Amino acid sequence: MSVLVAPSMLSADFLHLEKEIELVNQSEADWFHLDIMDGVFVPNISFGFPIIEKIALKAKKPLDVHLMIIEPDRFLERFRAAGANLISIHIEACHHLHRTVYAIKKTGAQAGLVLNPASPVSLLENIITDVDYILLMSVNPGFGGQSFIKGTFEKITALRELITRKNSRALIEIDGGVDLSNSRPLAEAGVNILVAGNAIFASKDPITTIKKLKQF
Quick check: helix, strand or coil at residue 134?
strand
- Nearest to ligand DX5 of 33, 110 (CB atom): 33
CB 181 within 8 A of CB 146: no
Cβ neighbours of residue 82 under 8 Å, at least 6 residues apart?
Answer: 49, 52, 53, 56
Near ligand DX5 by CB under 6 A: residue from 113, 141, 186, 213: 141
User: What is d(CA 184, CA 194) in angstroms, rounded to the nearest whole number?
Assistant: 10
Short-list 4, 11, 2, 3, CA closest to 176: 11
User: What is d(CA 133, CA 36) in angstroms, rounded to the nearest whole number?
Assistant: 18
Near ligand DX5 by CB under 6 A: residue from 3, 113, 170, 195: 195
Q: Which of 30, 64, 132, 175 is catalytic?
A: 175
To the query of whether residue 130 is one of the catalytic residues in this protein, the response is no
Q: Of 4-23, which residues contact ligand DX5 (CB under 6 A)?
A: 8, 10-11
Judged by beta carbon distances under 5 to 8 A according to partner kind, the member of Zn ion, ligand DX5, none in contact with residue 139 is ligand DX5
Closest approach, Cβ 33 to ligand DX5, in A, equals 6
Residues at the site binding ligand DX5, with contacts judged by CB under 6 A: 8, 10-11, 33, 35, 66, 139, 141-146, 175-178, 195-199
